[in-house]
Amino acid sequence: MNRLRPSGPRLRALPAAALLPLLPLLAGCGEAGGLVAAGATPAASGPVHLWPDRTGATVPPADPGGAPPEYVKGIPPVHDQDVHGVDPVALVQAELRAHPNADAGADGMPPGTADAIRACAGEGDAGEGGDGGDAEPEACPVLTPYYRDLTGNGKDELIVGIELPDQMMSVRVYTADPDGRLDRIMATTQSVISVELAGRDVVLRGPSGNRGYELITAWSWDEKQLTMLPTREQIVRAPAGAGAGAAAQGPANRGPGPGP
């Protein structure tokens, strides 16, 4: 019986020694720019616990550090949780009426600033003087509001800044609940270089007390406390050319709130 043989030239088996020069080419199969081994990976080194037998100190639970949520009285109900219709000047004026003599804490306000806020013109109001002069809105300490969903409920929150003497600033955040009430969920007063929004965080930059460095504090929504809390702090070197006493950036007059 005849066996089938492949047509064409016969293939001769190459000796093993002749295949050795081809191995590097086969190992690097693929076109130029393919994966190349980077060598051995260094072993991961975890933290080393020093003096593990020592009994550590007991630390009591810390206070949340943020202002508790507070219902703002004296303003019209908020429809459909839309804070864009809230007049920020009327809002801060309502808080002044609720806390007329507060000079410290979340509602603390220097008397001169409180008087300037009371004199601010609200929407559709020419001010106490009635002349509608251009100087009055520019002097109002309540800055242009900003809006951002900070709680993750799909609705914007209202972010208000109030200029205080000595480059201090009060930063406040308000949210509306389904019943139309406006709740203040953040209130802090400190020396501020700038205020930024990063995702759902309000980030404050201020002097750290160490020459040439800034303190960055990120405030985040806490679902258990139902308020904004300072969740992260970091001391970083100030950017080149930045003065330690730089004033907070932002317009001094009130107008339509910028979007996110």
Q: Specify the pTM.
A: 0.68
pLDDT score of 116 more than 70: yes
Q: Domain count of the chain? A: 1
163 lies in a domain? yes
Tell whether 52 is covered by a domain. no
- Is 186 inside any structural domain? yes
Distance CA 48, CA 31 (A): 45
253 within domain boundaries: no
- The Cα-based distances of 11 to 5, 8, 14 in angstroms read 12, 9, 9
Residues in the chain: 260
Residue 249 lies in a domain: no
Domain that holds residue 203: 70-237
Q: Please determine, for residue 150, whether its predicted confidence score (pLDDT) is greater than 80.
A: yes
Task: Read off the pLDDT of residues 21-72 as tens digits, 9 standing for 90 and up.
Answer: 555 555 555 555 666 776 777 777 778 888 889 888 887 775 666 677 889 9
SS3 content of the chain, % helix, strand, coil (to 5): 15, 25, 60
Is 202 part of any domain? yes
Q: Does the structure show a pLDDT above 60 at 256?
A: no
- Mapped onto helix, strand or coil, the DSSP state of residue 135 is helix
